[in-house]
Copies of this chain bind each other. A is one copy, B any other.
Amino acid sequence: MKKQLLTLLLCGGSFAFAQQPVDYVNPFIGTSNFGTTNPGAVCPQGMMSVTPFNVMGSETNEFDKDSRWWSTPYTSDNDFFTGYAHVNLSGVGCPELGGLLLMPTSGELKVDYHEYGSHYEKEVAHPGYYSNILTKYNIKTEVTATPRTGLSRFTFPKGQGNILLNLGEGLTNETGATVRFVSDTEIEGSKLMGTFCYNPQAVFPIYFVMQVNKAPKEKGYWKKQREMKGVEAQWDADAGKYKLYTKYTREISGDDVGVWFKYDVAEQEQIEVKIGVSFVSIENARENLKAEQPGFDFDKIASAARDKWNDDLSRITVEGGTNDEKTIFYTGLYHLLIHPNILQDVNGEYPKMESLEVGKTSGNRYTVFSLWDTYRNVSSLMTLLYPDRQLDIIQTMIDMYKENGWLPKWELYGRETFTMEGDPSIPYIVDAWMKGLRDFDTTTAYEAMRKGATTPGEFNLLRPDANDYFSLGYVPLREQYDNSVSHALEYYLADWNLSQFAEALGKKEDAKLFYDRSMGYKHYYCKDFGTLRPILPDGKFYEPFDPKQGENFEPSPGFHEGNAWNYTFYVPHDIKGLAKLMGGNKKFVNKLQGVFDDGNYDPANEPDIAYPYLFSYFKGEEWRTQKEVHKILKSGYHNAPNGVPGNEDAGTMSTWAIFSMMGFYPACPGDADYVLTSPVFDKITIHLDKKYYPAGDLVIEASHATPESIYIQSIQAGGKKLKGYTISHQDLVKAGTLKFTLGDQPKK
């Protein structure tokens, strides 16, 4: 870990001179503590990312992709590099993608990654750029990216230099690739990806074209050979080993194949390698490469990537706060803009949802929808900061419904992986609609939502337990670990959102139906424990019952990735009703405070992340929000590899920090109100998109007299004092200024 820290210090050193938002980003944040981000080169919402792959092949690695559940191509906890993975996921909970492993070596050609992998030093990462030195080979490696292509530059020592493309390994659990030489300097092929979160049918191909800027002296393939027995094993010198194909250059296919290029290189000679990808075809991969990287110009591509990031990050400028806080903030924004990413090629083509057909779009078609996470706060932040992209994201979701008959749940490169539960597209979309972003196909959106909310369970891909839910008003526990309460809680919130939407569209009957359903959470409230509690098919509560069971991802009857405390307050649409169930506001507040005080709050998973903001719904208790949010920011978010509390969840963790650091948070998806809290910075300017928010810039001011000035004394919006501790989206975006007066004492 010393190396890591050194790198960060080096990076940190340059922050003193940083002027641009992009300079604050530290891509190493979230690369430890199971944050599952990576420091690879990527463009904002780019299809391509080029990421150092260091999770296989060495005993010195702390984690190995095949030795346990593991979902990231890179971790700061490891130290053995086996190449650059092309196209990766950031902040997800299952292994996927992370293939097309490109590796330079020097000296004798080795094609077994156990042998050719190398330790490394001098890591440098900026948005759109990553570099290290491979100590085994004394090779400097640098990578950058355009939206759909990657570019690597390898600086070799004198002698034999090799470039390997490993198509056998990768983070994905799928295997199988085919590749062929098009010329001495170009290869093309495809590799199967998928089985995300162990869904066996959610598979898809990635197509690629790779070009090198210098013809090799020799070239070929490798393939792991079958084990042989007896006499045949004696005859076949390659049996069970990696065989080098030295002459054959037509198609080679297999589970564990790769391509090698061998060079004579001069001292410090640089060789560049570019890879274009597509999820439609090899031809499109080549077209992407041609359009985005017609030549080889590393510095130009890296500079363009940096500029793209800076443009996007500059949507907000902050003043005050420490460098670390700025780094956490801008790195959070950076993480926000990685997924969903574009799926369409430069010609607009993309694979349709769950289909072999190729669609064509003039806008952006997005993919990687971790909606169980992102509907909670990412949707709101995208609506606020990048409304144009948010509209494309929503239109993508509606198009998926048109193509596949269902809104997405956890979409990945055209496949519905059915990961996690609920009907998350509803709150994701309704939240935007309620905040005024309505330029999408509302009619189809409503039709799609209503389908999920009314189709019987046996035909309902999104709500498999819909029959119980519709008839009983809740989902009984039918199997020990069926996550039944978690399912139902998601349905309640989704149906409340749908009810709001129906109401707005004048569909009164639907509005009532779905509203009534959304109140069904009350079935689960158990007075004995003061928590929600699973219900058995006979209507009785599940027992034995321990509300704490489910901590640290241990299985828990009725609850998914959490315990009863993590879920009990997850009825953001009816906090007052829940308080009533619990015996009144005071009891609610005390119980909620107890969650924090007793260590039952998990800042690292989604169900309870809005808990700190719930205090602010109760007059005189708002200081608790400010205090707890401040504590979580301090304890969970750092300018360091472990700087995200847990899995980044496709930007959700970072979005929590971004909102919290700016002083407001969307505590209830689908409710246009933000809950206010004390900002971290003295001044925050959000350069709102005038096309959607004509009032333009929103300036948030909050002078911090002392580091302890974390308590709101008063708030002015547009020069007028606010009465409460919430503000609607509509009021916020036209306020012009939001001014917090802070003090070091809570205002009770």
Give A residues with C-beta under 8 Å from B: 66-69, 173, 175-178, 190-192, 194-195, 198, 200-201, 203-205, 223, 225-226, 228-232, 235-238, 243, 245-257, 354, 356
Say which residue of B69, B229, B230, B243 sits within 8 Å of A231 (CB atoms).
B69
Say which residue of B232, B250, B354 sits within 8 Å of A173 (CB atoms).
B232
- CB atoms of B235 and A205 under 8 A apart: no
Chain B residues near A356 (CB-CB < 8 A): 249-250
Q: Which residue of B lies closest to A224 (CB)?
A: B255
- CB atoms of A255 and B252 under 8 A apart: no
A204–B250 Cα distance when bound, in Å, is: 8
Q: Which residue of B lies closest to A65 (CB)?
A: B232
Chain B residues near A176 (CB-CB < 8 A): 223, 252-255, 257
- CB atoms of A245 and B203 under 8 A apart: yes
A251–B228 Cα distance when bound, in Å, is: 28
- CB atoms of B254 and A254 under 8 A apart: yes
Knowing A237-B200, A238-B200, A254-B255 are in contact, say whether A175-B226 is a contact too (CB < 8 A).
Answer: yes
A-B contact pairs, 28 of them (CB 8 A): A66-B228, A66-B229, A67-B229, A68-B230, A68-B231, A69-B231, A69-B235, A175-B223, A175-B225, A175-B254, A176-B223, A176-B252, A176-B254, A178-B178, A178-B190, A178-B251, A190-B253, A192-B252, A192-B253, A192-B254, A194-B248, A198-B236, A198-B237, A200-B237, A201-B245, A203-B248, A247-B354, A250-B356
Chain B residues near A175 (CB-CB < 8 A): 223, 225-226, 254
Chain B residues near A67 (CB-CB < 8 A): 229-230
- CB atoms of B198 and A235 under 8 A apart: yes
> Nearest chain B CB to A165's CB is how many angstroms away?
15
- CB atoms of B236 and A255 under 8 A apart: no
Chain B residues near A232 (CB-CB < 8 A): 66, 68-69, 173
> Nearest chain B CB to A617's CB is how many angstroms away?
39
**How many chain copies does the complex carry?**
2
> Nearest chain B CB to A237's CB is how many angstroms away?
7
The DSSP consensus for interface residues of chain A is loop
A191–B256 Cα distance when bound, in Å, is: 15
Chain B residues near A231 (CB-CB < 8 A): 68-69
> Nearest chain B CB to A179's CB is how many angstroms away?
9
Chain B residues near A237 (CB-CB < 8 A): 198, 200
Nearest 7 A-B pairs (CB), nearest first? Answer: A176-B254, A178-B178, A253-B253, A178-B253, A176-B253, A255-B255, A198-B235
> Nearest chain B CB to A742's CB is how many angstroms away?
47
A19–B175 Cα distance when bound, in Å, is: 56
Chain B residues near A255 (CB-CB < 8 A): 176, 226, 254-256
> Nearest chain B CB to A478's CB is how many angstroms away?
20
Chain B residues near A246 (CB-CB < 8 A): 201
> Nearest chain B CB to A271's CB is how many angstroms away?
24
Chain B residues near A173 (CB-CB < 8 A): 226, 228, 232, 236
Chain B residues near A195 (CB-CB < 8 A): 236
Chain B residues near A247 (CB-CB < 8 A): 201, 354
A251–B201 Cα distance when bound, in Å, is: 14
- CB atoms of B177 and A253 under 8 A apart: yes
Chain B residues near A238 (CB-CB < 8 A): 200
A352–B198 Cα distance when bound, in Å, is: 45
Q: Which residue of B lies closest to A351 (CB)?
A: B250
Chain B residues near A229 (CB-CB < 8 A): 66-67
> Nearest chain B CB to A36's CB is how many angstroms away?
16
Chain B residues near A223 (CB-CB < 8 A): 175-176
> Nearest chain B CB to A291's CB is how many angstroms away?
23
- CB atoms of B205 and A251 under 8 A apart: yes
A66–B232 Cα distance when bound, in Å, is: 7
Known: A177-B253, A192-B253, A247-B354. 5 other contacts (CB 8 A): A66-B228, A176-B255, A178-B251, A254-B254, A255-B256
> Nearest chain B CB to A39's CB is how many angstroms away?
25
Q: Which residue of B lies closest to A239 (CB)?
A: B173
> Nearest chain B CB to A398's CB is how many angstroms away?
22
Chain B residues near A177 (CB-CB < 8 A): 253
A371–B572 Cα distance when bound, in Å, is: 83
A530–B178 Cα distance when bound, in Å, is: 58
Residue in A66, A251, A252 whose Cβ sees the most chain B Cβ within 10 Å = A251
A428–B144 Cα distance when bound, in Å, is: 60
- CB atoms of B248 and A201 under 8 A apart: yes
A236–B256 Cα distance when bound, in Å, is: 19
A281–B69 Cα distance when bound, in Å, is: 42
Chain B residues near A191 (CB-CB < 8 A): 253
- CB atoms of B69 and A248 under 8 A apart: no
Chain B residues near A201 (CB-CB < 8 A): 245-248
A81–B281 Cα distance when bound, in Å, is: 38
Q: Which residue of B lies closest to A220 (CB)?
A: B201
> Nearest chain B CB to A416's CB is how many angstroms away?
10
Q: Which residue of B lies closest to A201 (CB)?
A: B247
> Nearest chain B CB to A565's CB is how many angstroms away?
26
A201–B250 Cα distance when bound, in Å, is: 13
- CB atoms of A253 and B250 under 8 A apart: no
